[in-house]
Structure 1
Amino acid sequence: MLTLFFVEDLPTTVGATYEFDNEDANHAIRVLRMSTGTIFNLSDGNGSWAQVQVLTVAKKSMQVKVLETGRQDPLDTHFTVIQAIPKGDRIKESIEMCTEGGADRIVMWKAARSIGKSDDKIEKLQTTAREASKQSRRFRIPEVIGVAATNAVVDQIAQADLAIVFHESATMKVSELVVPGCKKVAIIIGPEGGLTEDEIDTFAAAGAKVALMGRPVLRSAHAGLAALSAVNTALSVW
């Protein structure tokens, strides 16, 4: 699969030349050692893409020719991951994994037992999602929003066709709860210290299903990817 970079001014005319000169271009030249003739993809992060070929390489930029353009439509199923804020660098790790797992929106949630903080990091976390999208060859960068309070999570549940809260005390499996044909799915991941009983009761009362992810208890930062994998499979998206 071709290497992917994001640009704000995506070229859309086949045969046109384009000056690729942002930070990604510098990375392509200095780290990836791209040279004349190399073919790669550019995207605006909203689904549109252009396949280009390098014509000339300068110190920090390159001139490319547009070979093909197109647009990748979103999947029929829209995934929102509501992630309780992990501590330290695991915040970034959770964004990377949810992006690679196919999340369309990632909501950072201040759960009762969250000890991490992300109030001043949303812009940086959006950059993390952008970088993870390049790595996973996604033409659509997920939106990172927050910080949400618990009542905002209840609102997210109300907007979803299917909302699942993952908790180790649950007795129902994902395969027993997923309803085929769901278009809007919300996945709620608790913090390292676990969800409180009040949070579980509140989400269940709002219409969320409480599901068991499996016997192993995952780190909060890793659980989003596992949950996305399970639900994508149950819905036959994967």
Structure 2
Amino acid sequence: MRITAAPSRRSAAASSSCTVSSMPIHTLATLAALAALMVTSLVIAPVQAADDPLGNLFATLMNAGGTPGVGDGSCKHQCPSGAAPLPKQGHKPTSNGCGPASLPIRAEDMKFPFTPCCDEHDYCYHTCNSVRDTCDSDFGKCLSQVCDRVDNDQDRTACDASKDFFLFSTSGFGCSSFLASQQDACTCPGGERGIGDQSASSGRRARGSSRSSGLGSGSGSSKASRADTLERQASQETDPTKKNRLLRQARALRKEIDGEL
């Protein structure tokens, strides 16, 4: 899961970092709430000063706080000509687990086993023509399933707070990461570079860069070809339900290939 701090686009001279004094009050309140919730996401154990995931994560969120488009809204990847983006040949969706791309949270530091949910969310973002709202919705369902398995009332409260942290940060700071992931995963006809459509309020949680690599021969190559076909079909599909089904099938094949490598 990635929270990529994107530079502000308010003006050409705007800085990519943001000081507390220049932040809107609602942004400061949001960041304070996120930092408080994050405490419950980590195992209560001493850490070395040089290995302070919470402090570094808060700094990352502070940089992200000045990013426009925090909140609900649309976040779309499209080709300049209006043509549907096509899956990039050889692209392989990847994941770094939970946390910002520059500061992933280790699974062993997580109080609750959210890492598989974060991985699946990464794969979804890194699949060409994925619908961001669908990725985020599936992510929320996965986190809820983890918390539903917690019996202790106190731990359940902490789990729900951790879940809320991840969902809120995904919704609030994730659009730029989603668009970057889609640009890595897709290509436009004629070699155009895809552009993002961030309407008045949009955002997302953070996720890093993906790697593109050629796939080997044999069953992996056959599955990769099938996944490419499914993604191309999804790029032409106008029915959201059918599109999402095709994309899920493609992601399942990519994960099978990962297991064989």
Q: TM-score by structure 2 length?
A: 0.29
| Bigger helix fraction | 2
Q: TM-score by structure 1 length?
A: 0.31
Q: Which has the higher contact order (CA 8 A, sep 6+)?
A: 2
